[in-house]
Amino acid sequence: MAAIPGGADHAHDHGHDHHPGGIMRWVTTTNHKDIGSMYLWFSFAMFIVGGIMALVIRAELFQPGLQVVDPDRFNQMTTLHGLIMVFGAIMPAFVGFANWMIPLMIGASDMAFARMNNWSFWLLPPAAILLTTSLLVPGGAAASGWTLYPPLTVQMGIGMDMAIFAVHILGISSIMGSINIVTTILNMRAPGMTLMKMPLFCWTWLITAYLVIAVMPVLAGAVTMILTDRHFGTSFFNAAGGGDPVLYQHIFWFFGHPEVYIIAIPAFGVVSQVIPAFSRKPLFGYASMVYATSSIAILSFIVWAHHMYTVGMPVAGQLYFMFATMLIAVPTGVKVFNWVATMWRGSLSFETPMLFSIGFLFLFTLGGFSGLVLSMTAVDVQLHDSYYVVAHFHYVMVAGALFSAYAGAYYWLPKWTGHMYDEKLGKLHFWLSIIFFNMTFFVQHFLGLAGMPRRIPDYSLQFAEFNMISSIGAFGFGLSQLVFLVVVLKCLKGGEKAPAKPWDGAEGLEWTVPSPAPHHTFETPPVLK
């Protein structure tokens, strides 16, 4: 796939025309690059907020006993940490990547609905304010865990209403973003770019957007029913009124499991761009990657009750969900083997994006294996709601999604800022992150196997050493993320000028435009050979 030289208009920058300056530029902007940048900054800010909450949790768990926060506040921290990281940090980060890169990758001038794009972003700050300020209202924030299980959530204070409202707003934003992405990818590809010639990042986002469209109404319905149970006398989930709290769990996880893939699949897309670039080889098995990603998305709809083995279900149901869950390992394995095969006999180099991608590959695979362990009903009954589960999903979410987001950020920073980042600092960021990440979460496998339950502020003495190691690791991990901030600020301020294509093995239309990418690109689409 190659662009015919001169086949597209993008070398000019008329960012100055019809654009207000200062803060109003960012409030009113409809430019996909501006909006992408705002998404990325917002997600990083929320990552810091959610990270501080995680550090409060780890500070409390540094040693047995209650030292830092009372149990109520501890529960609020775990709830908000989960909600903020999932909906405020990771999802917006990948939407930021999508906004910045999809039009550049498919040769489109912008997203299909530029004004709606602006709205989808500006819905996020009010939701974030609602979530974070709920800590200040009487009764505090929601303290039920990010799953918002009733009947606890039916009984909580106004902080719960704020969380429900925030989830609604975040859901609307996600749906608007997804509709925009689907419309853009389907309709605005450059002539010659068939679906099976699209960069894999675009494919993964098309599938992700489809997942969002399919499951967001389910979440919206679930939290609305909690709201009506709380205030309008209904009893959907209130057993005292004839409702069924377990119904909520089914609905939530019907949304919640695809949500895991809504986070993971764009991460797969980023890594599928980075690994071939630094292996100097095309992605191995492109078509099988597309089919594997689609299979994962389809399977994600039929495995939700593996989160609920201990709730009580017939053996046949347990067996079904167990085997269906194990089936996901097949397409996931295809992807992992394809990434490894891409590197096989490649001319590898280990710049920061590649390091984060390899880190992703190792640790996400480890998270996948612990997921396989948990998929077995008999084992899960032992490990359910233990620190083993916490370790598992942090290997998937942090080492999976976050490491991949860093890989993408370092990979495209030269295109975004026009400057090369500081490679030494980037590598320092990677090594600190991977060491402290494993220090934080690997030991949690042992805590879980030894029987330490999750979501508790105090614990038995036998868990003290591993918790101490985990807390030290968490503070190290948190602080090492500031290195990334320094790298980005340095890159924005100046540094070595980045060429249009700073990575010699990189392929795709985004590398045909100058660095930094002009405000307007591909006003007329390029033609691909």
Partner 1 sequence: MSAVLSRSSEFCVVARRNCSMSPRALLLFFLVTAVLSLIVATSWALAGAWWVLPFAGVEVGALGCAFIAFGRRVGDYERIHLDDNVLLVEVCERNRVSRQEFVPSWTKIEMRRVGPGSEVVVRCRDREVVVGRYLDERNRELLVRELSSRLQQRRF
Closest Cα to residue 117, out of 215, 212, 31, 15? 31
- Least separation in angstroms between CB 408 and partner 1: 24
CB 375 within 8 A of CB 242: no
Residues contacting residue 335 through CB under 8 Å, at least 6 positions apart: 268, 289, 292, 293
For the annotated catalytic residues, the residue numbers are 81, 110, 146, 173-174, 257, 259, 261, 272, 306-307, 332, 335, 454
CB 141 within 8 A of CB 112: no
| Between 30 and 63, CB nearer to partner 1 | 30
Interface ranges with partner 1 (CB under 8 A): 6-9, 12-14, 16-17, 112-113, 116, 175-176, 179-180, 182-183, 186-191, 193, 210, 213-218, 220-222, 224-225, 228, 236, 244, 247, 250-251, 254, 301, 523-525
In the DSSP assignment, the letter for residue 503 is S
- Least separation in angstroms between CB 20 and partner 1: 16
Closest Cα to residue 375, out of 362, 389, 361, 363? 389
Dihedral angle, C-alpha 266, 485, 427, 496, nearest 10 °: 100
Kindly state the helix (H) or strand (E) to which residue 201 belongs, with its residue range: helix 200-231
Residues contacting residue 127 through CB under 8 Å, at least 6 positions apart: 87, 88, 165, 166, 167, 169, 170, 173
| Between 133 and 194, CB nearer to partner 1 | 194
| Between 244 and 385, CB nearer to partner 1 | 244
Residue corresponding to tokens 């929320």 = 46
- Least separation in angstroms between CB 331 and partner 1: 19
Q: Please, is 30 exposed, middle or buried when counting C-beta atoms within 10 Å of its C-beta (0-12, 13-18, 19+)?
A: middle
HSE-CB at 379 with a 13 A cutoff on CA atoms is 12
In angstroms, the CA 513 to CA 8 distance is: 10
HSE-CB at 470 with a 13 A cutoff on CA atoms is 27
Helix (H, G, I), strand (E, B) or coil at 453: strand
| Between 254 and 430, CB nearer to partner 1 | 254
> What is the dihedral sign for C-alpha 133, 135, 137, 140?
positive
- Least separation in angstroms between CB 529 and partner 1: 15
| Between 226 and 322, CB nearer to partner 1 | 226
Q: What are the backbone angles phi and psi of residue 141, rounded to the nearest 5°?
A: -75, 175
- Least separation in angstroms between CB 518 and partner 1: 9
Closest Cα to residue 102, out of 508, 516, 433, 514? 508
| Between 15 and 71, CB nearer to partner 1 | 15
- Least separation in angstroms between CB 154 and partner 1: 15
| Between 125 and 192, CB nearer to partner 1 | 192
CB atoms within 10 A of CB 12: 11
- Least separation in angstroms between CB 75 and partner 1: 26
